[in-house]
Structure 1
Amino acid sequence: MNTTPRTVLVTGAAGGMARGVNARLARAGHTVLCADFDADGARRAAETIIADGGAAADFRVDVASAESVHRLGDAVRAAGHEVDVVLNAAGVLDRRYLVDHDDESFDRAIQINLVGPFRVIQEFGPAMVERGWGRIINVSSIAGVTGYPYPSYAASKAGLSNLGRSLVKDFRGTGVTVNAICPGVVDTPMVIDEVRRQVAAKVPTGQIIDPEEIGALAVFLITDDARNINGADLLIDGGATRFYELFD
């Protein structure tokens, strides 16, 4: 795909899924700003991109902290970067059922998965508006579409998808689009064997999602060919949302 090189801020860049995303972005010619709570992980992610011939830099951020997100903005600008694309991939999956949650654990998931992306968009979105171009890509989940046995994850991802749809009005006429990528089960170290077996048996394609598939869609959304894709939930799930009982 032909695309203008952009500067892409990826939160959660040290995670298993984001590494595939980082690779696809870098191969498409984009500069990847790797931000993560794990500073060493963010550094390694950037070093991997650079070793493969791409352009990258690393930053530490705790998206659950407004102050930390502001510091990230200051650090990115001080390093001379203008963020064209925000890709919110930072997230947490809390495998607790309703009766196991307390206020603190539930709030943590909401802060990282929903409030964090809001803070990052609020920090970097206005500059996109000033420049008349930008892309905001939120990594949501099919759990936000179908529900999920782990309520904090499902609720936060549903909120993230609806946040993106709602922000379309805020960015109307500015050249900035907002979309959500909603993956099914992605092939990362977090996926337990039982879930892999369920995917093979129940997902119509029988396949787990490769992280680079998420990256490929993100690369497309950055192109001008995707300029009229806005406010969308884009599913990469092998047809899993057609089977709500997938994780019963």
Structure 2
Amino acid sequence: MTANSLNILITGAAGGMCEGINSRLAQAGHHIICLDLDLDRSEAAALKIREQGGKATAFAADVCDEQAVATLHQQIRDHIGAVQVLVNAAGILDRKYLKDSDAQSFRRAIDINLVGPFVMIKEFSEDMLQAGWGRIVNIASIAGTTGYPYPSYAASKAGLANLTRSLLEDFWGTGLTVNNICPGVVDTPMVIDSVRQQVRRRVPTGNIIDPAEIGGLVNFLISDDAKNINGTNMLIDGGATQLFSLFNNHED
């Protein structure tokens, strides 16, 4: 069914990874609905898309707040129309080992990385179910597959992977598909030099992932070429998951 132009809602749209996702989907002719917690940041992301010749609109909401998301849904319906594609990219990396962590920081990571996508999917899948077609793409991580030194992040991303698989029953025969993209190390300002060096030494391709590659994979998953790809974890990690040693702090 893929139309020439889809309304694509992207959470965390002001983040570094989303710059590549926003740009790639806008280049494909879609209307990008940029959502972030801060409206100024959302507006900046939307402006960058428009400066590149794309179509974008900015909104702000806390993805963990059910009432705020319900209000957002109505605002988007009133000003733009139904959302056909949801990309859950909002997330945080809580850089704490177990000894430095506490329940509060653990809950915050779970809230943003897992509860947020749940709230967004529950609310915005309504439009897709009514239309009989929709695409949901969750940005997870290889950390949800391999584990990670920061347990809150790994647990939240593993939960997101299982949430995605669990939704197959709800969306059975409805025309909706839901998939995870699980990146390795993506080239954003958050990546520290030591991690870049580890990628060059330990990832089979030796490459850090360009955010535009994530955008390309999202663009594929929302296309008719991917209509039978459903409930999957799509790895884009240069082979790092196979080695399981990218962040092995005990290796000399």
Range of TM-score over shorter length = over 0.9
Give the letter for the 1:131 counterpart: A
Shift of 1:61: 1.4
1:37 aligns to what?
A: 37
TM-score by length of 1: 0.97
State the alpha-carbon separation in 2 of the partners of residues 48 and 33 from structure 1: 13
Which runs of structure 2 are paired with 1:24-173 in the superposition (5 Å)?
Answer: 24-173=24-173
Aligned amino acid, residue 176 of structure 1:
L
Report the counterpart of residue 22 of structure 2 in structure 1. Answer: 22
Within-5 A mapping of 1:164-183: 164-183=164-183
- Residue aligned with 1:169, SS: coil
SS in 1 for 2:167: helix
Task: Structure 2: give runs of 5+ residues left out of the alignment.
Answer: none
Decide which moves more: 108-117 or 58-67. 58-67
Gaps of 5+ in 1: none
RMSD between superposed Cα atoms in Å:
1.0
The 2-side partners of 1:81 and 1:13 are apart by: 19
Q: Which amino acid aligns with 2:231?
A: G
Match of 1:222? 222
Letter in 2 for 1:137: V
Q: CA deviation at 1:3?
A: 6.1
Residue identity (%): 60
Any idea what the Cα deviations from partners look like across 1:46-82, whole Å, max 9, x if unmatched? Answer: 1111111111100001112222212211221121321
Cα distance in 1, alignment partners of residues 87 and 9 from structure 2 = 6
Cα pair 1:3 1:28 within 8 Å, conserved: no
How many Å separate the matches in 1 of 2:66 and 2:3? Answer: 33
Q: Deviations over 1:156-199 (max 9, x none)?
A: 00000111111011001010000000000000011111111100
CA distance in structure 1 between the aligned counterparts of 2:159 and 2:77, rounded to whole angstroms: 29
Normalising by structure 2, we get a TM-score of 0.96
User: Where do 1:196-215 residues align within 5 Å?
Assistant: 196-215=196-215
Output the CA distance in 1 between the equivalents of 2:4 and 2:231. 22
Q: CA deviation at 1:38?
A: 2.0
